Amino acid sequence: MQFRINGQTYAAEVDVRTSLLDLAREHLGLTGSKKGCDHGQCGACTMLVNGRRINSCLTLAVMHQDDEITTIEGLGAPGALNPLQAAFVKHDGFQCGYCTPGQICSATGMLDELAKGWPSHVTADLESVTFTDAEIQERMSGNLCRCSAYPNIVEAIREAAESQHLAEAAE
Amino acid sequence: MSDSTTLKMDVPVPASLLDAGTQGLIGRPLDRIDGPLKVAGRATYSAEYALPNLAYGFLVQAKVGRARVTGIDTAAALEMPGVLDVVIDLDTFIRNPQQGGSNKAPTQGVEEIHYFGQVVAIVVAETFEQARDAAARVHVALEDKPGLFEFDARLEEAHKPKGGSTEPHVATGDPDRALAEAPVVLDAVWTTPSQNSAAMEPHASTAVWEGDALTVYGSYQMPASDKQQLAQALGMKPNKVRIISAYVGGGFGSKLGIAPEVVAAALAARKLGRPVKTVMSRQQVFDATVRRSNTHQRIRLGAGADGRLTTVVHETVSSNIEGEEYFEPAGVSTHFLYAGENRRITHDLLPMDWLLSGSMRAPGEAAGMLALEAAMDEFAEKLGMDPVELRKINDPEQDPLKGVPFSTRQLTRCLDEGAAAFGWKDRNPTPGARREGEWLVGHGMAASARSNHLQESQARVSIGADGRATVETDMTDIGTGTYTILAQITGELLGLRPEWIDVRLGDTDTPPGAGSGGSWGASSSGSSVYLACEALRAKIATAMGCAEEELTLKDGRAIAQNRSVPLSSLVGEGLSAEGTIKPGKLEEERRQASYGAHFCEVRVNAVTGEVRVNRFVSTFAAGRILNEKTARSQCIGGIVFGIGAALTEELVHDPRSGRVVNHDLAEYHVPVNADVPHIEVHFLPERDQFANPLQSKGLGELGISGAGAAVANAIYNATGVRIRDYPLTLDKLLPGLPTV
């Protein structure tokens, strides 16, 4: 089977039972995505599939041979962190770091959903989605952090998103 | 000039070298030095080492609560594709994890089943999928036995445990008589449920044999003692076992001791002659690692009409597997938190056929202060006093039980400054009096206290010919910030920027560290690094030809007597020194603890009973703060654990089998992002010369201590409903809420 991950092509022979998460971790050496529950309950395995966030433990690798997959390794590297990753470091949006790749992939997908105007449970006016802490918190609640860096995660996402908006406004 | 420095804390250290440094690193909110690796997904956790010829193990559990194994049928599993073996060793497998810090193997032998989900075998296959599937086809034949699954009805069977770090029963004065004579008395019972640490990384071990030597890549909080436990469990010499835990995805007590997966993986790897990786499923972590015990706590307080406590009685019962003597030390802060010349604090233990109970974040205080601090709130109301005032007038001059002085104690100042920061004076003391639409709004507070401990810890610090420094110890960073603060201490004392320092943690081939637990990590391992650096400073001074006190080290240069030279020019081929810190007499001669005060606002929906924590302000005094950023994060994390304990966290044991019914993260409810408000944390300036040469105290467990009680007290203020059975879920609140 062939996969497109982080802009690269990978070939692997895997079991039809192999999840997208286990494909990355156990077969391709991409261990940035984490396994916390294997049941879609914690969000540590979050990846981006064609730009949308997904619990990669809940989907089979075999289903994604035509997809463009992005993992944490594709967002940035030490020394070349993307703005969201850098904001997580600055605001201490993690402690043990195990949920962190999932948080950052999830936040990436979430900001895109917000930009597209998708409403959430806390959206008051479905016609006009605004960028608030409550929206961030609601939309990030599928990503558990037992170290409980939640307030710092919200600050990191807010800052990264605001700097992105500023950059876009300047263009 | 010694290559090693050892300090036993028998006398205080009034002058810390940290105050003499000029690098300006200590206390600053520096970013974590391991941060870039973690946010880029490049930090390597236990199950992420690429090893050749790796096989996958999956654990087989017995799915009954109490039984004897009469046979294990492996035929169906062995026929499945890719399956290499089903390894069974009923004598050597460990029945349950070990407690933290023990140098002995945990209870071994799994023929007798003592809890639902006990591990009895391991399937090994070429792939994870094959092993998992085959494990489901292993048939464990069992002869059922009657089990101990009932707690409440058997309370009178509880016994006094053998004792551990906390004395099970303590008393002073005549509490029964004092209670009979006290003008104002409170007598009530609180209960707290079993809880799970739920660290995000499941327990995992990869076992690799080279001849008769074993290397384990695993997720451990205390590798130095875990290595001893594992060696004894396998009948090996400790020097033949190496544990590597470079990055640990959270612990909170659950990874203090070894767990069933490592012994199974090691036995399988030895038998197969291949490395075996075994990751516990999330359900297995809930079933077969360790829980915080449930507790039954009766508290009686006696005071004069002026609110001055004369009597404090805190009698507790927790549970564990028969023969496992660890008890939840729920009354540990009751020993010394408030005044009262008559006191009795007891811990009894009830045998249960439930999974092991052990230490979870702030063992003792976390469960005990849910009761004690709620009792103080009720007592304040009974006395017609403000709850802050009641605590202040009962802030004792010295330890009321042992009669020894406190090392440092700023409880009253925490209460005052916390109250001011929160705006406590605007609180309406009348319960159920403030309503905004369908939301009832309330304010509550609680004190925080957590005993301070020092553990023996060792580290090596080396300066290379290039002037860079390396720190080595098998201490771990489980999210606590160890990598960063050890770099800060080294940088401060050797005059180096953090980026010139390599910190290597979690490898038992390096000097044995304290491990992460009991909030002792930063102080203990930090002190060992401090002492190693002190020895290096002496060597550098000699090389510089000056006295130690004349020497200034800054930005990679040594400065003395109007000379400034690169540090690298003084170290030749390189310098190295080891430091060892040991607890001493000051543990007994001074009562050492960190303190704080929590204030919070909750909103309770009058229609649904839903509780939202709206605002949280906490003030802490924990000695010197080494890194303001990581310290704050630790405190926030603790507070959120407290919110979970107050509102949602409860392991439900099936009364027929002891089975943990809600054994996953969908049913065991840890707080999520939307449950947590902005949390304001303040630190008071403090130095504790009795604690260690850094003059710091523990704070990883301070945040949780008392936090849940502040939430419960706020719920009472919002609704007028007192619930003494944690967690305070809406089904318990609804009957007492005003009619809609």
Q: Which CATH number fits domain A83-170: 1.10.540.10, 3.40.50.1980, 1.10.150.120, 3.30.2130.10?
A: 1.10.150.120
What pLDDT, on a 0 to 100 scale, did the predictor assign at position B1? 43
Instruction: State the pLDDT at residue B2.
Output: 52
The b/e string for B382-396 (b: 16+ C-beta within 10 A; e otherwise) is ebebbbbebbbebbb
Three-state secondary structure along B518-568?
CCCHHHHHHHHHHHHHHHHHHHHHHHHCCCHHHCEEECCEEEECCEEEEHH
The count of other CB atoms within 10 Å of the CB of residue B649 is 24
Boundaries of every domain in chain B: 4-30+455-583, 55-146+203-279, 295-453+589-736
Does A25 contact chain B (CB < 8 Å)?
yes
Q: Which residue has the tokens 């209670």?
A: B179
Q: Rounded CA gap, B363 and B366, in Å?
A: 6
Phi, psi dihedrals of residue B708, rounded to the nearest 5°: -65, -35
CA atoms within 13 A on the CB side of B546: 19
- pLDDT one-digit tens code per residue, B163-180: 778 999 999 999 999 999
Nearest of A76, A126, A68 to residue A104 by alpha carbon: A76
Locus of tokens 């904001």: A87
- For the record, the structure tokens of B624 come out as 């010197």
Q: How far apart are CA B269 and CA B272, in angstroms?
A: 5
**pLDDT tens digits along B656-674:** 999 999 999 999 999 999 9
Say how many Å lie between the first and final Cα of chain A, rounded: 41
Give yes or no for residue A140 having a pLDDT over 70: yes
Strands A2-5 vs A68-70: parallel, antiparallel or unpaired? parallel
Q: Which of B122, B285, B141, B140 is nearest to B207 (CA)?
A: B122
Q: Same topology for domains A2-75 and A83-170, yes or no? A: no
Contact yes or no for A147 and B38 at CB 8 A = no
Per CATH, the number for B55-146+203-279 is 3.30.365.10
The tokens 């950052």 sit on which residue?
A: A104
> What is the full DSSP assignment across B622-645?
-BS-SBHHHHHHHHHHHHHHHHHH
The whole-number pLDDT of residue B528 equals: 98
> What contacts 24+ positions apart, CB below 8 Å, involve A129-136?
A131/A161, A133/A158, A134/B674, A136/A110, A136/B673
| Torsion angle (degrees, nearest 10) of CA B612, B613, B615, B621 | 180
Nearest Cα neighbor of B528 from B686, B694, B697, B699 is: B694
Neighbours of B17 (CB within 10 A): 18
Using pLDDT thresholds of 50, 70 and 90, give the confidence band for residue A163: confident
Spatial contact of A137 and A150, defined as CB atoms under 8 Å apart: yes
Tokens of B435: 């309503």
Which residues in A lie closer than 8 A to residue B31 (C-beta atoms)? Answer: 89-90, 92
Topology of the domain covering A2-75: Ubiquitin-like (UB roll) (3.10.20)
- Token look-up 């230490």 returns B359
What average pLDDT does the segment A59-76 reach?
98
Residues A37, B45: C-beta atoms closer than 8 Å: no
DSSP secondary structure string, chain A? -EEEETTEEEE----TT-BHHHIIIIISS-TTS--S-SSSSS-TTEEEETTEEEEGGGSBGGGGTTSEEE-HHHH-BTTB--HHHHHHHHTT--SS-SSHHHHHHHHHHHHHHHHTT---TT-S-TT-----HHHHHHHTTTS--TT--HHHHHHHHHHHHHHHHHHHHH-
Tokens 């023996």, located at residue: B456
Separation between Cα atoms, residue B723 and residue A76, nearest integer Å: 49
Are B376 and B449 within 8 A, CB to CB?
no
Please answer whether residues B312 and B343 qualify as being in contact, where contact means their C-beta atoms are separated by less than 8 angstroms.
Answer: yes
Q: Is B733 exposed, middle or buried (0-12, 13-18, 19+ CB in 10 A)?
A: buried
Q: How far apart are CA B627 and CA A159, in angstroms?
A: 22
Whether residues B40 and A81 touch (CB distance < 8 A) is answered with yes
**Of residues B282, B481, B641, nearest to A39 (C-beta):** B282
From first CA to last CA, the distance across chain B in angstroms is 78
Would you call B701 a catalytic residue per the annotation?
yes
DSSP structural state of residue B591: B
pLDDT of residue B163: 76
Cα B146–B147–B152 angle (5° rounding)? 130
A-B C-beta contacts closer than 8 Å: 191
For the beta sheet containing B67-73, the strands, ordered from the edge strand earlier in sequence to the opposite edge, are B112-113, B67-73, B139-144
Strands B435-436 and B557-560: unpaired
Give this prediction's pTM: 0.98
Question: Which architecture, in CATH terms, is B295-453+589-736?
Answer: 2-Layer Sandwich (3.30)
Nearest CA in chain B to A47: B41
The answer to whether B42 contacts A95, with C-beta atoms less than 8 Å apart, is no
Nearest to B460 by CA among B540, B573, B577: B577
Nearest residue of A to residue B280, measured between CA atoms: A37
b (16+ CB within 10 A) / e for A114-144 = beeeeebeebeeeeebeeeeebbbbbbbbbb
Cα–Cα distance for residue pair A1/B38, rounded to 1 Å: 30
Token pair in block for residue B532: 């190693």
> For residues B15, B19, B22 and B24, what is the CA-based torsion angle, rounded to 10 degrees?
160
Question: In this prediction, does ipTM exceed 0.95?
Answer: yes
- With vertex at residue B499, the alpha carbon angle to CA B494 and CA B501, rounded to the nearest 5 degrees, is 50
Alpha-carbon gap, residue B300 to B340, rounded angstroms:
12
Residues of A in contact with B253 (CB under 8 A): none
Does A154 contact B197 at a Cβ distance shorter than 8 Å? no
Residues 34 through 73 of chain A touching chain B, CB cutoff 8 Å: 34-39, 41-42, 44, 71-73
- In chain A, the residue whose alpha carbon lies closest to the alpha carbon of B200 is A36
Are B479 and A147 within 8 A, CB to CB? yes
Question: Which long-range contacts link B304-309 to residues 24+ away (Cβ below 8 Å)?
Answer: B304/B182, B304/B183, B304/B184, B305/B183, B305/B184, B305/B383, B306/B393, B307/B184, B307/B380, B307/B383, B307/B385, B307/B389, B307/B390, B307/B393, B307/B394, B308/B339, B308/B393, B308/B394, B309/B338, B309/B339, B309/B340, B309/B394
Alpha-carbon span B676 to B670, nearest angstrom: 11
- pLDDT under 50: residue ranges of chain B: 1
Strand B435-436 with B241-244, pairing: unpaired
Residue of B nearest to A104 (CA): B39
CA proximity to B561, closest of B569, B570, B550, B576? B550
Q: Give the whole-angstrom CA distance, residue B16 versus residue B582.
A: 17
pLDDT reported for residue B198: 98
Tell me the domain boundaries of chain A. 2-75, 83-170
Query: B39 contacts in A (CB within 8 Å)?
Result: 72, 76, 81, 85-86, 88-89, 94, 97, 100-101, 104
Q: Find out if CATH 3.30.365.10 is the number for domain B4-30+455-583.
A: yes
Nearest to B665 among A35, A41, A154 (CB): A41
pLDDT value at residue A166? 66
Closest Cβ opposite residue A98 in set B32, B200, B279: B200
Cis? peptide before A101, omega within 30° of 0:
no
* CA gap B481, B479 in Å, rounded: 6
pLDDT number for residue B3: 86
Q: Band of the pLDDT at A170, cuts 50, 70, 90?
A: low
Report the distance separating Cα B168 and Cα B188, nearest Å.
Answer: 21
Q: What are the C-alpha distances in Å from B37 to residues A102, A158, B33, B248, B550?
A: 14, 22, 9, 13, 39
